[in-house]
Amino acid sequence: MGQVANKRPYHVDLAELMRVYETNYAKLNALLPTQPSVGDVRCYQAASMSYQILVGEVTKYTTLVDICQSDDVPVFPLPKMSVRLYHDARVAEVCSSDYLNRVKARYDYPNDKMVQKDEKAQLNRFLGDWLSFCLKHGISRSPLNI
């Protein structure tokens, strides 16, 4: 007879998530102006694809940026993401994405939008991969140290 799969509840691996946040903060800071202002835009060309980072909000302890692909017809579309950088803690996290207005730490599954239990962790790892790609292969359309 077949055995019933034992479902274990999903638990957020906080230590791993914080490592991802910290590395994303360092990578994103390398792509942003030294003293960002609201409205600052950075454009990058990487492997025939164009990406844009727009500074949407700057406060004493945080900066909010929107990241999107700026190609007319993207081959591999990047979801539009809002990322908040926390300067006092030196971390950056994805706050929202194309299909989620607010990214929760964990989701019940199945759900209405069919997002994964660990959607927040996946989005932040994806952001890290994308930032690494831009740092390794990207060409800025403007000087980085302004």
What pLDDT, on a 0 to 100 scale, did the predictor assign at position 44? 87
Domain presence at residue 144: no
The proportion of the chain whose per-residue pLDDT surpasses 90, expressed as a percent, equals 42
Look at 100 and 24; give whichever has higher pLDDT. 24
Model confidence over 34-57: pLDDT tens digits?
899 999 999 888 877 888 999 999
Residue 72 resides in a domain: yes
**114 is a domain residue:** yes
Per-residue pLDDT, 34:
86
The mean-pLDDT minimum among 10-19, 56-65, 82-91 falls in 10-19
pTM over 0.85: no
Which residue stretches of the chain are H helix? 14-31, 119-137
Query: Is residue 87 scored above 60 in pLDDT?
Result: yes
114: domain range? Answer: 14-30+38-137
Is residue 68 classed as helix, strand or coil in its secondary structure?
A: strand
Specify if 106 maps to a domain.
yes
Cα-trace Rg, the chain:
17
Q: How many domains does the chain have?
A: 1
Classify residue 34 by its DSSP letter.
Answer: S
Does some domain include residue 143?
A: no
Rounded mean pLDDT of 55-63? 96
pLDDT(72) > 90: no
* Confidence category of residue 111, pLDDT binned at 50, 70, 90: low
pLDDT at 109: 72
67 occurs within a structural domain: yes
Tokens of 137: 């292969």
Domain-embedded: residue 5? no
